[in-house]
Amino acid sequence: MPVPGGLLAGEPQRVRITWRDDAAWVSVSEQGERGVKVVKADVEAANGRVVGIDSVLSLPKNLSHVVKHHPNLKTLSRYITPAIEQVLSDSPHLTLFVPDDKAWDALKPMEKLWLDSGFAERDLMDIFARHATTGEKPHQDRDFADDIKVGWSEHWGSDSSYQSLTDSTLQLVTHSNGTTMVNNGIASVLQKDVYASNGVLHTLDSLLVPSGAPLFKATAEKWLLALNATVFVGMLREAGLDSYVNGAGKDKEWTILAPADDVLNDILRKRDLNVFGSIKDELRTLLRYHIIPGILKPEDLADGQLLGTELRPDSLKGDRMRLKVDVVSGKTGVVGTQREGGMGNGDLAFGGANVIAEPGMTA
């Protein structure tokens, strides 16, 4: 029976029935497993039929629980942030078309590293929102807000569409053989109708993330994680300086001098620091000294050059604190000319600290 003001757009929860082991089973899983056995033949009543079963039916869990306990959604489960969890737990009449574990293999190693970093909340929410809908039709349709329904497959025609939680459209085409394709064949539906208390879930064999999505936009933050500078990124976030590396600052270009994790971990260990809150002002000062305006390539640098940093102490009356460049090998202004393939360890140093990896460039 539908629950007034419930979580399924005014519709009743579905119950799946199958025949197994010479008996009918009720409330089985999407694979036809488990469930409650029918033990008595149905009896006709004035207003329906009564069927005897051997146990109480279990109510479906919410979509957060469904995702976390699905055997083929371990990767997606790992990427559930607190914000995504709240949507999955509390949102009514939600329909998910989500990638199964194998679908994530299409991502490049750096993209996976970024998603696993603990810093990718915005990109993870963008990915999730592209795979979810509250049952609305595409907003270009005149009656898009009318007749909102949970996206059970029984509602799909040969051609159906929904508005995702972003501005994108989820277009479904079901062929005569029963297969359903999404967004012009980008993905196909592998498993339909995993029931939940607040909606339904379908699994896909591919991600619905276009090339222009935030995930695929290279930022300094993503490069730093790939270059083993996770602690440095965490410090920038703690100090409120992450706009220097996350692409949020428009028309801003920076050269970032990032110490590797082992260097910073050693410093923190010696100072017995587990959190940065107690040294936030000191942290901002230190980090700004590692940020230089503009994009500087090795060939732009000369021995003895003094570069202005983002650190502007009161003692300099707002002027930039300078950082000295040392070119150890090669001719003045040309870095690493004696080595094939460019710069090597010790060729270039800033303030006495050697560059130990090739610089990464972002658009």
Show contacts of 341-345: CB within 8 Å, 24+ apart. 342/298, 343/298
For the chain, the maximum distance between any two Cα atoms, rounded to a whole number of angstroms, is: 98
Q: What is the pLDDT along the chain (363 residues), one digit of tens a residue?
A: 667 678 998 888 888 888 888 888 888 677 777 888 888 888 888 888 898 888 888 888 999 999 999 999 999 999 999 999 999 999 999 999 999 999 999 999 889 989 998 889 999 999 999 999 998 888 666 555 566 889 999 999 888 999 999 978 999 999 999 899 999 999 999 999 999 999 999 999 999 999 888 888 888 888 888 788 899 998 899 889 998 998 766 567 899 999 888 888 887 777 766 655 566 788 889 899 999 999 888 888 888 899 999 999 999 998 999 999 988 765 433 333 333 444 444 465 666 566 655 555 565
Q: Which domains does the chain have, with CATH numbers?
A: 16-53 (no CATH), 63-204 (2.30.180.10), 218-354 (2.30.180.10)
Residue 83: predicted pLDDT: 97
Q: What's the one-letter identity of residue 318?
A: G
Contact 137, 144 (CB under 8 A): yes
Contact 73, 194 (CB under 8 A): no
Distance between CA atoms of 90 and 93, rounded to whole angstroms? Answer: 10
3-state class (DSSP) for residue 189: strand
| Residue carrying structure tokens 């199958």 | 18
Residue 219: predicted pLDDT: 85
DSSP letter assigned to residue 296: -
The beta-strand segments (E) located in the chain are 17-20, 23-26, 36-45, 48-53, 94-99, 132-133, 159-163, 169-174, 180-182, 187-196, 199-204, 254-256, 291-293, 306-308, 322-327, 348-350, 353-354
Provide DSSP, 244-288. GTSS-STT--EEE----HHHHHHHHHHTT-S-SGGGHHHHHHHHH
CB count in 10 Å sphere of residue 304: 10
Contact 25, 18 (CB under 8 A): yes
Residue 23: predicted pLDDT: 83
Residue 345: predicted pLDDT: 44
> Which stretches of 91-227 are DSSP H helices?
109-115, 121-130, 220-226
Size of the chain, expressed as the number of residues it contains: 363
Distance between CA atoms of 92 and 154, rounded to whole angstroms? Answer: 19
